[in-house]
Amino acid sequence: MSCIAFCTCVYYDCSFHPQKHNNECTSCIEKNLERHEIPACFFNKIGAETDIKSDYSFYKFAKKVMDCEKE
């Protein structure tokens, strides 16, 4: 199984997690693009707390980035 060293996703039960297959991040990114969402690792990078039921929309990510810029 492949798992990229920089992966910050903690949702190991997710079937798209890089530890579950040999596609690295491709499966996760494909799923997110189809849903008009941003992968959880992007939220993790900016320090935004997320959970499996969070809103991962482009809008929510942009808002989080803008909120971080204000701080």
pLDDT given for residue 7 in this prediction: 79
CB atoms within 10 A of CB 10: 14
pTM: 0.75
Give tens-digit pLDDT for 15-66: 988 888 888 889 999 999 999 999 988 888 888 777 777 889 999 999 989 9
pLDDT given for residue 38 in this prediction: 92
> 42-49: long-range contacts at Cβ-Cβ below 8 A with a sequence spacing of 24 or more?
44/8, 44/9, 45/8
Q: Which amino acid is at 47?
A: G
CA dist 70 and 11 (Å) reads 29
